[in-house]
Amino acid sequence: MRLACALFGAALLGLATAAQPQAWAPQKNVEIVVANSPGGSNDRTARQVESFLTKLKLVTVPLTVVNKPGGGGAIAYEYVNQHAGDPHYLLIGTPALLIAHIVGTSRLTYTDFSPVASLFNDYYVFAVNAASPLRSGGDLVERLKKEPQSIAMGFPTALSQNHVGAALLLKAIGRKASEFKSVVFKGTSEAAAALLGGHIELIITPAGNASPHVASGRMRVIAVAAPQRFTGVLAGAPTWREQGIDLVFSGWRAVIAPKGLTAAQAGYWEHALRKATAAPEWKADLEKNYWSDDFAGSTQFRKDLEGDYAAMRSVLVELGLAKKPAP
């Protein structure tokens, strides 16, 4: 009797399992959207994600990296937002999404999307052409104190995380945050090309963007906005703290999807990204690109976004780059 009951129960369990809907998986080409032109750190992140998801066979459909530069990221944000409920569109997210909404250049913010996962943290460096007379962070500070408009700084969008880094430096040395001279490009690679061509004097960029040019001898990093020095070709570049300026500055890289995804759809992408970022090859690439391992799933990432938005608004208001919210 006990065996018969057990067999009957197993049969019922099998029927119930069969009746449940299958877990979601993508059914067509997936677009990984980047709010910058090819060549920069965001584009490189997208191509790393595409490569690992494909190489590890975590996704069985084609993945395509799509660059949508312009509008301070707003063009890419609007494009992905137009595909609400469609999990075949992914956006490489950065703090620029928060900044654009806070300063009013985009109507969209993190609540208009489905946060999937934060992948890693990315520290910034201050770099000049190798032939520049600016030999150190101290040289840069001296020039900025005397005449901040005398140094043309290149930025990848109209207002980005890079701008916040420049503003924080100006504030740290007693100048107004808005006094720096900015030259805007469509992407980091264009800004770097302008620096190497002698058209601008300084770029503030993620460390991985600068390292190949430093290795070639064409670029020099005069200050690192990280808690400690990097290794490899950037080992000789001192931190801002070493040079008497308390400036530590970084930005996260993440994957965000359109609003309205089901739990199964969001869970699929979080699971795939978690497995991809756990691979030894991914860890090696983090080190190669000077990225700091900082994976967070959707639940924690959403909480982090709430905190980051409030903190970023506070900083931007203090720096005079955003209006104080109405009481």
Pick from 13-22, 38-47, 253-262: least confident: 13-22
Long-range contacts of 184-187 (CB under 8 A, 24+ apart): 184/154, 184/155, 184/156, 184/157, 184/158, 185/154, 185/155, 185/156, 186/36, 186/37, 186/69, 186/70, 186/156, 186/157, 187/36, 187/37, 187/38, 187/39, 187/40, 187/43, 187/69, 187/156
Residue 178 — very low, low, confident or very high, per pLDDT cuts 50/70/90? Answer: confident
Burial of 305 (0-12, 13-18, 19+ CB in 10 A): buried
Average pLDDT over residues 157-179: 87
Buried b / exposed e over 38-61, threshold 16 CB at 10 Å, is bbbbbbbbbbbbbbbbeeeebbee
**pLDDT of 297 strictly over 60:** yes
**pLDDT of 195 strictly over 90:** yes
Average pLDDT over residues 186-197: 91
Average pLDDT over residues 154-161: 80
List, as one string, the DSSP characters of 134-152.
Answer: --SHHHHHHHHHH-GGGSE
Residue 65 — very low, low, confident or very high, per pLDDT cuts 50/70/90? Answer: very high
**pLDDT of 14 strictly over 60:** no
The percentage of the chain sitting over the pLDDT mark of 70, rounded to a whole number, equals 92
**pLDDT of 5 strictly over 60:** no
Average pLDDT over residues 250-265: 96
Average pLDDT over residues 215-240: 96
What is the reported pLDDT for 4? Answer: 36
Q: How many residues does the chain have?
A: 327
**pLDDT of 2 strictly over 80:** no
Residue 326 — very low, low, confident or very high, per pLDDT cuts 50/70/90? Answer: low
Of the candidates 88, 111, 95, 137, the residue with the CA atom closest to the CA atom of residue 239:
137
Average pLDDT over residues 259-272: 97
**pLDDT of 49 strictly over 70:** yes
What is the reported pLDDT for 23? Answer: 87
Burial of 137 (0-12, 13-18, 19+ CB in 10 A): buried
What is the reported pLDDT for 325? Answer: 67
**pLDDT of 3 strictly over 70:** no
Average pLDDT over residues 289-316: 92
Average pLDDT over residues 318-326: 76
Is the CB of residue 173 less than 8 Å from the CB of residue 138? no
**pLDDT of 324 strictly over 80:** no
**pLDDT of 316 strictly over 80:** yes
What is the number of other CB atoms lying within 10 angstroms of the CB of residue 82? Answer: 10
Average pLDDT over residues 286-301: 93
Average pLDDT over residues 142-159: 90
**What's the pTM value of the predicted model, to 2 decimals?**
0.77
What is the reported pLDDT for 156? Answer: 82
How high does pLDDT run on average in the chain? 89
